[in-house]
Chain A
């Protein structure tokens, strides 16, 4: 069997011989697996365990930064509570739901655009051409500039009176009057999406490129010999083969997009038109000092993201416990 065959016939059942071998080796292999996972799980448990458990716990308390020593358990009151016939809490807060929809809308559009563009860039970079190394470095530049800097840079470039974007667009005659990109509610979200796409397409492109480069070369040779159209090769061969890498890239992009904070914060501040879930959570936690309520928002945010990630993984047909091929 060549690797090509293995990759194409991924559902081929294991042979009887292989199965017997495996059972002999199972116990030693399982021990190895345990030993291999232990260091990683220990580090992750120590570093992430306490902060995460603490956040979830605080979501059920009335903790406030003014004095954290008087924190009391209040059950689900941060999520839903009724006082004097009026409902309070996250689940009935229109601003929270507004933030949820903003975030979802932003994430779907920006991640789709980034995937499409990232794929295009990766396909280009996967070809042999002169100056490829420099182009690859150039493509990474947007990802390499710290977000706090690039967000400020873009907010300046998008300035309605002094920004270069309006200057250039007016120069080539595309627009007649300067556009207030970040001030106008109609364009503010699109401005955020545009900057995010600019910034994170390299991330997508590089991950997809890595997927492309791990593909065995002989498939393409075979396709070339058979005279299959390149577009068909892409959809019939390339795409299915890099699907796992693509799904992982999309999942991690989506995780970041759903938690978007600094870009929106710098470009449009606390304006409700573009407020994301993270901006909302941070506003409660930091600006309003409501540690309890903010932690509840963070926990709800976590649940929303977990739901979406699971759906994405299902849509991407990723079987997490699937055997190696």
Chain B
């Protein structure tokens, strides 16, 4: 079985060189197991039936860092082993030089998608990726506990802090000594960049580096946001939160041990699962504002479909990328798998809203999500993000004060930037 597939691969490779214009074989990356995989396989099969091409599904690591490393290895060597890549929202600037401009193939369909994401996916004037689905940071809360203690859903970080503190104290006094107020992602990794940019942006402190490429992060609003965040650790959040990723936070919240949780939309359907102790007790709202005159901003996440410029058959590859991101597929993915569409019109679609009631309420959160500065900083984004999350981690773990840390961060970022990003 294995021998045959290896053999077949060789034959295909040999035949590929001779080339038949009608049927091409395209390699596309998908998730390995689970619902995402099933949806991907189904969509690819439909495409095969529609076009007569064949597609080989390549499974790639789930961890974003490992996945990026693999992509870089393959693209960096100019290899044509993978044609269609599923890429993170922050990667267009990093991988852009190896990706194909999809504009000649898209026929303007990109105008139906959220504009900020299309801008994000534009690298040096080229449309290097089509949006597949979007994500934004959300605030999950325990409806039952807020009701029990007569609290309203907080709209500012200050309210959230006070509510979390109060409910935590009262729950503990009632014997629930494992209860915490708020859990989130604060390990020194990309997830902390997402969380911290939400804090800072919601206070009006900007998004680290603005669209023109100026370093804006060292400002009093940002310091105010970080100082508040530093006060949470050990008070309303366990000290361990400093090493939490998404699943750690969900573990605590879903075990019923936290009042609030900042997480991505995926936590919703899992928390509502049949075996969840907090089923039916969860509320979802936008990430709070920083002060009464702040704004609610969730970090922009999500995945895109891109085509390698080393692809042997760019036309077929582009057609697959466009098919996977089409309105038809996005609607299906939203209904079957709660993936947030990137096409504006789908947020008013009856079927989509029936399956995911919160999508309608939070439309503004998804359309106005704050993007990490991956576009402005291009290939340097990872360095910027690394410097940023380490600076934030130093503040919230009590190693340094917000002002000092931000001043040092500004210096570090200038060093990374030198003359231009």
Contacts and interface: CB of A to CB of B under 8 A. Distances in A.
Interface of A: 64-68, 83, 159-162, 178, 180, 182-185, 188, 268-272, 283, 286-289
Nearest to A284: B383
B272 interface: no
B240 A183 contact: yes
Given A183-B242, A287-B382, A287-B386, 15 more contacts: A65-B76, A66-B94, A178-B238, A182-B240, A183-B187, A183-B240, A185-B399, A270-B386, A286-B68, A286-B69, A286-B72, A287-B68, A288-B383, A289-B72, A289-B94
Interface in B360-386: 379, 382-383, 386
**For A67, A68, A185, A270, which residue has the most chain B Cβ atoms within 10 angstroms?**
A270
A184 B97 CA distance: 40
A39 B307 CA distance: 44
A182 B240 CA distance: 7
Contacts of B68: 286-287
B386 A288 contact: yes
A287 B65 CA distance: 8
Interface in B61-102: 65, 68-69, 72, 76-77, 94, 97
Interface residues of B, number: 35
Nearest to B189: A269
A185 B77 CA distance: 39
Given A161-B252, A180-B239, A183-B241, A270 B390 contact: yes
A178 B240 contact: yes
A183 B178 contact: no
A161 B178 contact: yes
7 contacts: A83-B418, A159-B240, A161-B238, A184-B242, A188-B243, A270-B188, A271-B393
Contacts of A66: 94, 97, 379
B251 interface: yes
A272 B394 CA distance: 10
B397 interface: yes
Nearest to A191: B243
A180 B69 contact: no
Contacts of A162: 248, 251-252, 255
Contacts of A182: 240, 243
Contacts of B325: none
